[in-house]
Amino acid sequence: MRFSTIAVHAGQRPDPHTGAVCVPVALTSTFAMDGIGKLRGEFEYARSDNPSRHALEISIAAIEFGKYALAFASGQASSTAVLDLLQPGDEIVTTPNVYGGTYRLFHYVYNKYNIKINVAANTSPETINKTLTEKTVLVWGETPSNPLLDLFDIAEVAERVHNFRNKKGTQPLLVIDNTFPSPAFQNPLLLGADIVTHSCTKYIGGHSDVIAGAIVVNDDRLYEKLKFYQNAAGAVPEPLSCFLLQRGIRTLPLRMKKHEENVYKVAEFLRNNIAVEQVFFPGFTDFPQHELVAKQMRGLPGMVSFKIHGGIDNVKKFFAGLKLIILAESLGGPETLICHPATMTHAALPKSEQAKIGITDNLIRLSVGLEDPEDLIEDLQEAFNTI
């Protein structure tokens, strides 16, 4: 099946008992048994598995063209599950631009377990390869990255990583956070990645009304390890969240096309605005990694970042001048959201680290929603007029 058909039907077939077209919400914590060790159906206890979560995991695996998916209570919970694969003394190589919550998890939580983080100087495959050490177990990257939308060649990085052997005699695992492009526009497993993670809160959910995360893999043994952790740690989404995510998946292809259509118009407006110092958008032909858009993506999400002239005072005036666009964390919903990475999404990074990767006080991230783009542009212009 093609992608839009998969999004509508995978894991979402009519209920065999009632004929319900939408998968019923299984609001139960436990399931009846017919005797000791005799399950009446497939399920025993809702932390271990649940009909709603089971259907969602089939859907997510299908849209990522993967074999297995595991759903979690948040994107951070899914990242933590991947990090549980590590042992004290192991090392991670990460690209420079990663989500602030990921940075916080790496540097402020897992550092006490003697897990070392080696940050590549840039996103070129050669640099990432040079950053590998004999203790590297995971290579973690975002493409496009948050918030500056840097890209890297997933297939080339995967080849280099898989040709490397650490002192354990194993190849590092390549982990791709695919939250920004969503499965509609990029499928890292098809390009050689070992693990794909998602904050399903964003584009997969798509309605700003649910917190959840997911992991997708192909390897059987890797799945079993992650499945064990999911059950043991118990950071799983409740059934209604699973239902809402499946609802979001059904419209994912359509929504992503509209996000893309809108962001091109808004990005072009920003580039031609006298108040704007610089625009970060992979759709521009002069963007440093623009050629990778066509090579490994089917489209671009509704994300654009930009710097305005002046410092934090101008940013505050600009935000205050907005009437339609909402200042808030998160992204990928139907409404357009704007944020200030230095004090919001990437506040966990020290100022020195922010400066290294280009996060300045005048940097703004915009998640372009599903509104009429002309209304968004008018709102932005009125806010620019205040500065």
Active site residue 177: yes
| HSE-CB for 292 with a 13 A CA cutoff | 23
Element (H, E) at 52: helix 51-63
Q: Check 202, 223, 229, 255 and give the catalytic one.
A: 202
Tell me which residue of 184, 181, 172, 186 sits closest to 222, measured CA to CA. 172
Out of 49, 53, 90, 99, pick the active-site residue. 99
| Spatial distance between the Cα atoms of 104 and 320, rounded to a whole number of angstroms | 29
Is the separation of the CB atoms in 319 and 337 below 8 Å?
no
Q: Which of 177, 223, 229, 255 is catalytic?
A: 177
Active site residue 99: yes
Q: Which two tokens stand for residue 47?
A: 């932390």
Look up 307 and say whether it is catalytic: no
- Write the CB contacts of 93 (distance below 8 Å, at least 6 apart in sequence): 118, 119, 120, 128, 131, 132, 133, 136, 138, 139, 140, 172
Helix ranges (DSSP H) in 95-219: 100-104, 125-131, 154-162, 182-185
Distances (CA, A) of 357 to 107, 350, 354: 16, 11, 6
Bridge partners, 70 (sequence order): 215
User: Are 176 and 141 contacting, i.e. CB atoms less than 8 angstroms apart?
Assistant: yes
47 given a catalytic annotation: yes
Instruction: Report d(CA 203, CA 248) in Å as an integer.
Output: 8
213 near 200, Cβ under 8 Å?
Answer: yes
Enumerate the active-site residues: 47, 99, 177, 202
